[in-house]
Amino acid sequence: MEDQDFLLFIKKIKEHTSIDLALYKEAQMKRRLTTLRMKRGYNTFISFFEAMMKDKELFYEFLDRMTINVSEFWRNPNRWELVEQKFIPEMLKRNRRLKIWSAACSTGEEPYTLAMILAEQGALAETSLHATDIDDGALEKARKGMYLDRSVRDVPANYVKKYFKQDGLMFHVSDELKKSVKFQKQNLLVDTFDSGYDLIVCRNVIIYFTEEAKHVLYQKFAKALKPGGLLFVGSTEQIFSPGQYDLEAAETFFYRKKGV
């Protein structure tokens, strides 16, 4: 009965939101959502679903739990140093007008990290910087650009001074950075992607999908990149046999589209 309850929940969610929970690893997803359901006092997934359809805040909490909005600026700093010191300068030598996408951007730390790097290299104003996520609540926080002090702990001190305004424990992203990022809602598994990107950053999200869903996503990302463009993935998301997607390893967790 419990399995049928969850399967019906998956079916209802897909019918009403286009979110296909069947494409996520079931054990992890079910465990997280069971914890939330019980915390909110619902004995079944169907009663939880019905409540979500009436309560927007509960639905946003479901999305937040489903998407695991854990993000911070300069997450894995040595990887971002590669972006800053190697890859962006290489791209700018070829073309000053870059097109960059932060996919599954959560609450905005990642695209704002990109914006800081671009601003330091005098390329922010000419760059098209997109950021997307499935969670309206996360996007709202991203647009506000307000973060707790712990979120900026890995940001270089000179960047904190230049691009943030501190107010107690909160750090406010500068208007220059906020104006530079275009935030939009997007379901990676359903929606079509734009194309011609120099860089796509999608980190610590793909790990939650099934192998079949990962395969589809890597194909879509590869098609969205321009020849020579880079896909930057998370530290637990190494792509095995990248050649099947017309990609090749550029550095650890960076994959370049063939063709240049």
Is 225:200 a contact under the CB 8 Å cutoff? Answer: yes
Pick from 58-72, 85-99, 122-136, 145-159: least confident: 58-72
pLDDT of amino acid 260: 65
Cα dihedral 42, 43, 49, 54 in deg (nearest 10):
-40
pLDDT of amino acid 242: 95
Distance from C-alpha of 14 to C-alpha of 209, rounded to nearest angstrom: 16
**Residue 87 has what DSSP assignment?**
I
pLDDT above 90 as % of the chain: 64
Mean pLDDT confidence for 58-72: 72
Residue 17 has pLDDT above 80, yes or no: no
Where residue 148 falls among pLDDT bands split at 50, 70, 90? confident
Is 91:198 a contact under the CB 8 Å cutoff? Answer: yes
pLDDT of amino acid 1: 59
* Phi and psi, residue 236, nearest 5°: -120, 20
Task: Sort 109 into a burial class: Cβ within 10 Å, 0-12 / 13-18 / 19+.
Answer: buried
Residue 112 has pLDDT above 90, yes or no: yes
pLDDT of amino acid 29: 86
Cα dihedral 217, 223, 225, 227 in deg (nearest 10):
140
Residue 153 has pLDDT above 70, yes or no: yes
pLDDT digits (tens, 9 = 90+) for 22-32: 888 888 888 88
